[in-house]
């Protein structure tokens, strides 16, 4: 092993000694937090624990090379790293374990995620960006295995964009692209597709990414021989190693996780390569241990041999670090023991402070409610039952919020006929508690800090041309890229040919390959690019070629993109626009109508369904002034239809959350979206010939939905409602009905049963006949509406079928 003087020639012995001992203190502090954290779970104070014990040393080495402006996209065992960069205190660690909802105590998620999920606060309360170059940054962790990988690609690519694209205001975000995106992952998680997709894409793009694999040979109880070919991810990836000419590929480094000097050297080497050469680096950290097993749910003694357990005890990285410190004369055994005792005390005291900060507000609420109920019990005719509730609440020595509020809600059952002012005091107290808990548990799903329903209408002059609708999209994107240098678009076939429908025709040649780019067939990491780029201040538009292909990226959208603003309680934002095309497609794999599933899985993301390209272009213009992620679904069968080309390209805006009445009528309200509206409009003319006057409403925006509650105003007039949808029965149509009937209370104004007309349960068969017999046709619409009117007035509308 190299000596410390060979490793640290540029600093004095005393300085190096101080650094080493400080590192050891962080390592031991982190380990003690893990050990004590497990006990807190087993005693019931915390629900679950997953800790970073056994991974302390490589995380310390990583922290030494991690600089301001860098980004982490990591693994839920990275607590030592967060402590080493000064982003996690003992109190923060335990506050996360207890799910403290005070973001000052628990800055990682305000209790919304379990412990071990780490973030940095990247935006101010008003939604504006902090200066990310003045801090060390961590994108918000998620639990799904390898789910952090797609985002890592985009975080790294942002440095490439900032280095090569001129005109971007990068002051808060980059220093000429010198920042590194650091990823961490467990060895077993490298079996996931997200890992492989990201590794391949990073090699193709040549981005400054350092990916650390913490390898302790197990994935919960499953050994590496069942996880990875050759039981080694670095062996498998040898073909990715750069050649002598440093052509595209990876620098691959393998290092023992218990070797302090080798780890520091490995990470220093990696960061120099990544920063200067924009080359991805894989660091395979082997011979690590997991002293407490995978989590608090089980014991690793059940699946590890005595020989393995003995080896883990000897080669525990903290044990080896301690031995190295003593062997090199940095400290004596006695001094180290005293240090360890002091750390144990500090951790216990920090845990106690964290628990008191968590539990004392609950005790205060408990005290307030007991006083209110005791006052009521003195006057209530049902005092006996109220006293039972009082005694039950008193018995909670360490009450949760739910214990307190549950008691209050139950007490109302015994106060139905109680008229005293004390009841009003109780209700006011409960309302105050509800406001508090709504903020703690249900706020910040959307980034609504700006006006979303602003409308700027397209302007047309006498000279405005009528063009193929794709020209509207293309020329609007042209204006966006001309005026907004921070915007970029990428996807399959988006670059050289200008997307499969020519909506980006010629734009790569005009704005360059960094801003209008082709990608491989890899939807999850296309989404990941968008997430990471948006986290670093850019305005990406990630193109998924068809709506059906969104399914490949749905886990990333659902678990990462849609939850970020919520799970960080508004301290991070990712204003990614996902562009795709769908509706009325033909064939099982190109039916383009999975809206019901998407609506359920993508809350937190706007879902916009423009009926034509002018409306779509207006959505893009609007979204680029907002902070919320969105999915825009263009109508695939609309690109060759004719539309007028607006004069105010790049400026007109389609309002988000607003419906549009595209035909007024008095007999029945028809609600739909996308390409199906053209079928409905055709049917409306035919229904008019039969004396039925329909009102047609274009939803435009499924999420958010009709924020002005305009549909109910239509129902007040027509007293009948039909929702027409190309999704399966119970899909988006059920969502629309719930919004209109329940949220808008439109049921009050109905004279007929509200109904839906949807596609069949199966996916559409191939061909035009498949579409006709699978999804609503003009005849279906006519007959459905006529049938509703027949029930209303059978004499005027006699049956014809």
Q: Return the HEC string of 193-255.
A: HHHHHHHHHHHHHCCCEEEEEECCCEECCEEHHHCCHHHCHHHHHHHHECCCCCCCCEEEEEE
Quote the pLDDT of residue 302.
84
Quote the pLDDT of residue 219.
87
Contacts of 334 (CB under 8 A, 6+ apart): none
- Weakest-pLDDT range from 2-11, 523-532, 618-627: 2-11
Say how far apart CA 293 and CA 797 lie, in whole Å.
Answer: 73
Say how far apart CA 508 and CA 484 lie, in whole Å.
Answer: 15
Residues 491-495 have a mean pLDDT of: 96
Percent of the chain at pLDDT > 90 equals: 89
Quote the pLDDT of residue 3.
43
Tens of pLDDT along 682-710? 999 999 999 999 999 999 999 999 999 99
- Weakest-pLDDT range from 36-45, 143-152, 312-321, 401-410: 36-45
Residues 361-381 have a mean pLDDT of: 95
Quote the pLDDT of residue 5.
41
Give the C-alpha distances (Å, rounded to integers) separating 84 from 132, 210, 564.
Answer: 18, 18, 24
* pLDDT tops 80 at residue 554: yes
Say how far apart CA 115 and CA 422 lie, in whole Å.
Answer: 40
Residues 538-562: b if buried by 16+ CB within 10 A, e if exposed: bbbbbbbbbbbbbebbbbbbbbbbb
| 129 DSSP 8-state letter | B
Cβ neighbours around 474 below 10 Å, total: 24
Residues 741-759: b if buried by 16+ CB within 10 A, e if exposed: beebebeebbeeebbbbbb
- Residue carrying the six token digits 């540029």: 10
Element (H, E) at 298: none
Tens of pLDDT along 14-65? 999 999 999 999 999 999 999 999 999 989 899 888 899 999 999 999 999 9
Tens of pLDDT along 257-310? 999 999 999 999 999 999 999 999 999 999 999 888 777 777 888 888 999 999
Quote the pLDDT of residue 400.
96
Residues 370-385 have a mean pLDDT of: 94
Cβ atoms of 604 and 448 closer than 8 Å: no
Q: Pick the catalytic residue: 121, 590, 762, 790?
A: 590
260-277 helix and 56-65 helix, angle to the nearest 10 degrees: 40
Contacts of 587 (CB under 8 A, 6+ apart): 763, 764, 765, 766, 767, 770
Residues 128-140 have a mean pLDDT of: 98
DSSP notation for 602-640: -TTSEEE--SSHHHHHHHHHHHTTS-S-EEEEEEGGGTT
Q: Indicate the SS3 state at residue 438.
A: helix
Residues 532-559 have a mean pLDDT of: 97
Give the C-alpha distances (Å, rounded to integers) separating 576 from 356, 627, 631.
Answer: 40, 8, 9
Quote the pLDDT of residue 10.
61
Quote the pLDDT of residue 4.
43
* pLDDT tops 70 at residue 67: yes
Mean predicted lDDT score pLDDT of the chain? 95
Residues 648-675: b if buried by 16+ CB within 10 A, e if exposed: ebbebbbbbbbbbebbebebbbbbbbbb
| 540 DSSP 8-state letter | E
- The question of whether 590 is a catalytic residue gets the answer yes
């Amino acid at each position: 092993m190299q000596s410390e003087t060979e490793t640290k020639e540029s600093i004095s012995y005393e300085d190096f000694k101080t650094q080493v001992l400080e590192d050891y203190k962080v390592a031991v502090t982190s380990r003690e937090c893990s050990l004590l954290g497990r006990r807190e779970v087993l005693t019931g104070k915390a629900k679950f624990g997953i800790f970073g014990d056994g991974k302390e040393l490589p995380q310390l080495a990583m922290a030494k090379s991690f600089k301001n402006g860098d980004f982490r996209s990591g693994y839920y065992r990275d607590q030592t790293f967060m402590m080493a960069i000064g982003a996690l205190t003992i109190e923060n660690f335990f506050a996360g374990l207890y799910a403290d909802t005070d973001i000052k105590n628990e800055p990682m998620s305000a209790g919304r995620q379990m412990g071990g999920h780490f973030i940095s606060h990247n935006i101010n309360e008003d939604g504006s960006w902090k200066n990310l170059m003045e801090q060390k940054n961590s994108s918000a962790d998620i639990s799904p295995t390898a789910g952090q990988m797609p985002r890592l690609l985009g975080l790294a690519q942002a440095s490439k964009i900032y280095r090569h694209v001129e005109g971007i205001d990068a002051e808060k975000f980059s220093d000429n692209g010198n920042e590194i995106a650091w990823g961490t992952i467990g060895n077993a998680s490298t079996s996931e597709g997200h890992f492989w997709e990201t590794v391949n894409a990073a090699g193709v793009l040549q981005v400054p990414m350092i990916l650390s694999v913490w390898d302790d040979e197990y994935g919960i109880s499953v050994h590496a021989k069942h996880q990875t070919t050759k039981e080694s991810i670095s062996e498998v990836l040898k073909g990715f190693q750069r050649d002598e000419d440093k052509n595209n590929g990876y620098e691959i480094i393998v290092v023992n996780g218990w070797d302090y000097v080798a780890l520091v050297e490995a990470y220093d080497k990696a960061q120099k390569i990544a920063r200067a050469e924009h080359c991805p680096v894989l660091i395979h950290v082997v011979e690590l241990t997991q002293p407490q097993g995978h989590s608090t749910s089980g014991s690793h003694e059940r699946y590890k041999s005595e020989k393995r357990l003995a080896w883990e005890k000897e080669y525990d990285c903290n044990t080896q670090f301690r031995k190295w410190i003593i062997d090199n004369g940095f400290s004596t055994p006695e001094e180290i023991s005293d240090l360890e005792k002091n750390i144990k005390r500090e951790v216990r005291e920090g845990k106690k402070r964290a628990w008191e900060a968590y539990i004392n507000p609950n005790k205060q609420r408990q005290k307030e409610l007991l006083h209110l109920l005791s006052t009521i019990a003195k006057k209530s005719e049902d005092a006996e039952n109220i006293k039972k509730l009082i005694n039950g609440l008193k018995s909670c020595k360490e009450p949760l919020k739910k214990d307190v509020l549950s008691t209050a809600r139950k007490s109302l059952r015994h106060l139905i006929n109680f008229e005293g002012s004390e009841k009003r005091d109780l209700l006011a107290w409960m309302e105050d508690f509800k406001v508090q808990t709504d903020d703690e548990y249900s706020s910040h799903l959307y980034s609504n800090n700006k006006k979303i329903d602003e409308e700027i209408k397209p302007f047309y002059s006498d000279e405005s041309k009528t063009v193929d609708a794709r020209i509207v999209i293309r020329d609007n994107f042209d204006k966006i890229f001309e005026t907004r240098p921070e915007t970029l678009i990428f996807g399959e076939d988006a670059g050289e040919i200008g997307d499969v429908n020519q909506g980006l025709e010629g734009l790569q040649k005009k704005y360059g390959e960094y801003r209008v780019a082709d990608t491989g067939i890899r939807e999850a990491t296309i989404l990941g690019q968008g997430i990471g780029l948006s986290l670093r201040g850019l305005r990406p538009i990630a193109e998924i070629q068809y709506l059906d292909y969104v399914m490949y990226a749905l886990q990333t959208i659902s678990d990462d993109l849609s939850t970020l603003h919520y799970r960080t309680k508004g301290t991070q934002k990712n204003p990614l626009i996902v562009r795709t095309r769908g509706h009325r497609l033909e064939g099982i794999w190109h039916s383009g109508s999975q809206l019901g599933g998407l609506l359920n899985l993508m809350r937190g993301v706007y879902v916009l369904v423009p009926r034509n390209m002018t409306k779509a272009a207006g959505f893009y213009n609007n979204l680029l002034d907002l902070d919320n992620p969105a999915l825009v679904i263009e109508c695939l069968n609309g690109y060759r239809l004719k539309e007028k080309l607006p004069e105010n390209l790049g400026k007109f805006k389609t309002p988000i959350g607003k419906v549009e009445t595209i035909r007024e009528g008095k007999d029945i309200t028809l609600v739909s979206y996308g390409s199906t509206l053209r079928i409905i409009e055709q049917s409306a003319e035919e229904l008019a010939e039969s004396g039925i006057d329909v009102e047609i409403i274009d939803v435009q925006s499924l999420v958010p939905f009709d924020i002005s509650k305009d549909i109910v105003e239509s129902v007040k007039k027509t007293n009948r409602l039909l929702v027409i949808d190309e999704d399966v029965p119970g899909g988006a149509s059920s969502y629309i009905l719930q919004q209109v009937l329940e949220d808008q209370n439109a049921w009050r104004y109905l004279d007929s049963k509200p109904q839906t007309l949807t596609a069949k349960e199966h996916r559409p068969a191939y061909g035009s006949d498949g579409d006709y017999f699978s999804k609503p046709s003009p005849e279906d619409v006519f007959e459905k509406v006529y049938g509703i009117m027949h029930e209303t007035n059978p004499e005027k509308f006699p049956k014809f079928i």
